[in-house]
A and B are shown apart, each in its own frame.
Chain A
Amino acid sequence: MNLLKPHSIWQGERLFILLMLAPAMALLFAFTIAPFAISVWLSFTDYLLSRPPARFIGLSNYIQLFTSAAFWSAFWISVLFTTLTTLVETVIGVAIATLLVGARRTGGFLRTIYMLPLAVTPIAIIFTFRMMFNPGLGIINYLFRLIGLPPQDWLGDSTMAMISLVTVDVWQWTPLTLLIVAGGLAALPTEPLEAARIDGATGWQSFRYVTLPMLMPFVALAVLFRAVDAFKTFDLIYVLTGGGPGTSTTTLNVMAFKQAIEFTELGRGSATAIIVMIIITLASQFFLRRSKLLTVPEVGA
């Protein structure tokens, strides 16, 4: 009889855990695992929305993608967009975060301003940039003329369209890098910097040889976050350029959307989306190993 009590408590606890977890887990299963499985299955079929019964066609979708010029063009455009945005955002983000540490008086106010782009509705901002990029009536070409630069066809020219997309992405997401790096700076010990100052190091020297090495895990985290999100970018590209002109800004993600939703080739689109996911997973695993990111105590805590 004595055994009954602890046993029943243990039983109760088990039931408690199950009851607390079940609703969220059921939903996560039904709406993340199951859709993922459906996606994988669809990618092996020729499912067209207009011609319902999906037929299994093995690896055909993947083979067709890997042998098509459009796929490789979209792949390299994705890589280019991801590299450019991550690079620019990291450089500006680290620079501003470092400068912000010294600005005690205005820091809090400026920080709130810097956070604006992270909160504002992307569609509203993309619309704003579309107005500003307008070749004839837009404010940007007006400012260009004012300082003696030739006006540009911001969204109509292939090269300029990529530059415009990178500009808006940099506007919107540099603050995230800035925040992560600023969080890191606030957590750094001050002794090494003091020591460097006593040893007569200049501002740049102590940043380059003392602060930056200690900051690297946070920079790496920011790079990972930004690169993953940049590779997944959809709203910005789809609404600002629609992947054009031509296919000059069609990334893999935009291509997957167009195949699946616009052309209703759900099988083909799923295959492209699965490839995007595999690329992101492999690249971030590789990056995590290389950067020893998981040694940062804050990550995942």
Chain B
Amino acid sequence: MKSVLRQGVLWVFALWTVFPIYWLLNTSLKMPLDVTARPPTFIFAPTFANYTAMLHDPAIIGFFVTTLIVAVGTTIFTVLLSTPAAYVLARFRFRGNTDIGFWILSSRFTPPVAMLIPFFVMFEMTGLLNTYAGLIIAHVAINLSMGVWLMRSFFMGLPKELEEAASLDGASPLKTFLSVILPISRTGIAAIAILTFLFTWNEFLFSLVLGGSLPTVAVGLYKFIGYEQIEWGHLSAAAIIMLLPVLAILLLFQKHLVQGLTMGAVK
């Protein structure tokens, strides 16, 4: 009896969690007449018309291309910058090490708007507004602290014997890092790459203000919400397409996602 109740509560919570996504999918498969039908329809003749319309719209394709360029660029630079720094922070004792660690963690407490205003001013002066370079720089800045922090805890988990053996063989720290540490760090690097990609793909505020006329999908969707009020079917299809890579990441890399969201506090 008790376990039936337990299962009941857990499944109700699962239903509550899935329902909005189900409803989005449901709406994306409806003809306009079904979308606005009262009462709302759960069963109807599904159509892919919304998807074909969205995938043939050059503006929508443009949003996706922009988002992809920004997310991939951000991921590459975040990995390249955070990996070496994290290794040194994890393995070497030097003055200021713990200060840097604290500084990185404290970035989680900074409200995005406080960072956004100076970015806006700097980008306005340097002409980086509405450029790929500008958007990538901003997103690297947003994700770098998370990347360094997670990579640092990954390196801390590696056995110290690796470096000891390498140094007995006379390898320099740089050689050790490149030929011993990096090859066995693929899973850690993959984790921060995936997280950076996901967070950049989903990001809205910085993309809106720094790239308003070079819109990512999130910004494009936001602009459509305003004046295309009743084209729910179209927007739902675009939103579902936007969720596809996200769902793939969730299914394949669930554990990494947990670590990224909790800054590694939960393994």
Contact = CB atoms under 8 A, between A and B. Distances in A.
Interface string B246-267: 1101110010011001101111
B10 interface: yes
A13 interface: yes
B51 interface: no
A208 to B, nearest CB: 17
B204 A96 contact: no
Interface string B138-162: 1011001100100001001000000
Interface string A179-199: 110011000000000000000
A295 interface: no
Nearest to A285: B109
Most chain A CB neighbours (cut-off 10 Å) among B11, B114, B235: B114
Interface string A1-40: 0000000000011101101110111011001101110110
B40 A32 contact: no
A119 B235 contact: no
A188 to B, nearest CB: 14
B262 A225 contact: yes
Contacts of A139: 23, 40
A298 B201 contact: no
A199 to B, nearest CB: 20
B117 A260 contact: yes
Interface stretch (A62-70, A79-87, A100-108, A158-166): A100-108
A280 interface: yes
B198 A119 contact: yes
B165 interface: no
Given A12-B173, A119-B249, A123-B204, A36 B110 contact: yes
B21 interface: yes
A301 B264 CA distance: 8
A59 interface: no
B137 interface: yes
Interface in B196-216: 198, 201-202, 204-205, 209
A180 B265 CA distance: 8
A190 B37 CA distance: 54
B115 A32 contact: yes
Contacts of A234: 112-113, 205
A273 B17 contact: no
Nearest to B103: A28
A273 B38 contact: no
B83 to A, nearest CB: 9
B60 to A, nearest CB: 14
Contacts of B247: 116, 119-120
A12 B172 contact: yes
Contacts of B85: 20-21, 23-25
B65 interface: no
A20 B115 contact: no
A109 to B, nearest CB: 9
Interface in A130-176: 130-132, 136-139, 142, 171, 175-176
B84 A20 contact: yes
B14 A13 contact: no
Contacts of B58: none
B267 A171 contact: no
Interface string B116-127: 111111101000
A293 to B, nearest CB: 10
B266 A103 contact: no
Contact of A113 (B14, B108, B138): B14
Nearest to B82: A24
A34 B117 CA distance: 12
A280 B112 contact: no
B150 to A, nearest CB: 12
Contact of A121 (B117, B120, B144, B218): B218
Contacts of B38: 136-137, 142
A219 interface: no
Given A12-B172, A137-B36, 19 more contacts: A17-B94, A19-B84, A23-B81, A35-B115, A38-B117, A39-B117, A49-B124, A96-B10, A100-B10, A113-B14, A115-B257, A122-B202, A123-B222, A125-B20, A127-B24, A175-B17, A183-B267, A266-B117, A298-B267
For the complex of A and B, list the 10 residue pairs with the smallest distance between their C-beta atoms, beginning with the closest: A35-B118, A24-B85, A31-B141, A183-B266, A38-B118, A273-B114, A124-B239, A20-B84, A119-B250, A123-B218
Interface of A: 12-14, 16-17, 19-21, 23-25, 27-28, 31-32, 34-36, 38-39, 42, 49, 92, 95-96, 99-100, 102-103, 106, 110-125, 127-132, 136-139, 142, 171, 175-176, 179-180, 183-184, 203, 221, 225, 228, 231-232, 234-235, 239, 253, 256-257, 260-261, 266, 269-270, 272-274, 276-277, 280-281, 284, 298-301
26 contacts: A12-B173, A13-B92, A16-B173, A20-B177, A24-B148, A28-B103, A42-B117, A116-B18, A118-B261, A119-B246, A119-B249, A122-B202, A123-B202, A123-B204, A123-B218, A124-B24, A129-B20, A179-B262, A180-B262, A253-B111, A256-B111, A257-B113, A273-B113, A276-B111, A277-B114, A280-B109
